[in-house]
Amino acid sequence: MKVCHLSSVHYAMDTRIFYKMCQALKEDYEVTLIAHHPQKETVNGVHIIPFKVFRNRNVRVLFSWLLMFFKAIKQRASIYHFHDPELIPCGILLSMFGKKVIYDVHENIAEDIFDKPWIRNQKMAYKIFNFFEKMAVKRFHVILAEKSYQKRYELLKANYSVVLNYCDINFFDKFQKKEFKQQLNLFYIGIVLENRGILEIIESIKQLKAKGMNVHFHVVGELYSDLSAKIKKLDYYDDIKGQLHFYGRKRLEDGYALAEKMDIGMCIIWPMKNSMESYPTKLFEYMAVGLPIITSSFSLYKEVVEGNQCGLCVSPRDSHEIGEAIETIHRDVLKTEQMSENGKLAVKKHYDWESQKRVLIRVYKEIEEKIK
């Protein structure tokens, strides 16, 4: 049976979409993925079809769903699985053509509207989204990436399943950290936005340099131009620019190929409702490769990091506190090694993707039975 995943926002090699879901499904289905990608090709058994990138958000929201529909319907798939709320109209059209549709909710989209400054009338956007989603979920099977907004979809009387963003430990085994020495190489992978604590981390590096510590920050991900400009405008930029290493977007395996030379996984996220109630994927990835973690002191994160003694939690807007955490890890090699082992063990025990993969396959098998 042919299935087709759709995204007008994410890149084709997205961790959840490609590395987890598409890779899990290819064992039982013919899998096609339509998303941002440089060319049409087959990667690890998944057929990838490129989708145009719209830099203008308004243009993207208004037109991408229709363009996606025409690309999607040509695939003649039995099951369509879309990953962006702006594709809800596309999903509705596909369902009207007799297709089974899955709506994958990566975050608390409704609440996330209030954390997006580029949305001018947030209250109106919230009402409009609620109206359309309420109608739409009756047509789809909904998959939630977090339990935190489960209640919302219960109230909407959605047919839903929870497939958490846990870690594929088999994938990350080959990237595990082998040895700790100085603990002065910080590692970050993911979307590079200001609300990911990038400026606070850089500020902490400046403060530690004044103490004689030569800390390097290695960043894998797309650096948005406005943030790049802000970094270069820092009055101390020339003093620390040699300690900042931006590699741009890389495939997951290429990004984590750097991990063995890194010392600390950085997961600093500003306090926003959606981020405070959702697990960041990189948290489990850092644990799987054996990097001690410095992350935001949210209750959900502390439960994982402090509960498993695999890192330190700090106030995400406090560069001094971030710097102190870096220094603490730097000074105690034995404790760092124990954090590394604790993280790897915790992922295997509690946060392995294999458990979520079984849920995903079960959802697809149930939909497959309805088609037959």
Q: Residues 332-342: pLDDT tens digits?
A: 999 999 999 99
What is the model's pTM? 0.90
pLDDT above 80 (res 119):
no
Map out the domains of the chain as residue ranges: 2-166+353-371, 169-350
Contacts by 11-16 with C-beta closer than 8 Å and gap 24+?
A: 11/35, 11/36, 11/37, 11/249, 12/36, 12/37, 12/43, 12/48, 12/50, 13/37, 13/43, 13/251, 13/252, 14/83, 15/165, 15/252, 15/281, 15/285, 16/83, 16/106, 16/145, 16/165, 16/281
Work out the percent of the chain whose per-residue pLDDT is above 70: 97
- Indicate if 169-350 has the same CATH topology as 2-166+353-371: yes
CA distances from 167 to 19, 25, 44, 344 (A): 10, 16, 18, 11
Determine the topology of domain 2-166+353-371 in CATH: Rossmann fold (3.40.50)
* pLDDT (mean) for 238-254: 96
* pLDDT (mean) for 172-192: 90
Residue 131 has what DSSP assignment? H
Predicted confidence band at 114 (pLDDT cuts at 50, 70, 90)? low
* pLDDT (mean) for 178-196: 90
pLDDT above 80 (res 59):
no
Predicted confidence band at 118 (pLDDT cuts at 50, 70, 90)? low
Those residues whose C-beta lies under 8 Å from the C-beta of residue 19, and which sit 6 or more positions away, are 13, 168, 171, 252
Residues comprising the chain, all counted: 372
> Is 169-350 CATH 2.40.30.10?
no
Six-digit token pair at 24?
């899990």
pLDDT above 90 (res 179):
no
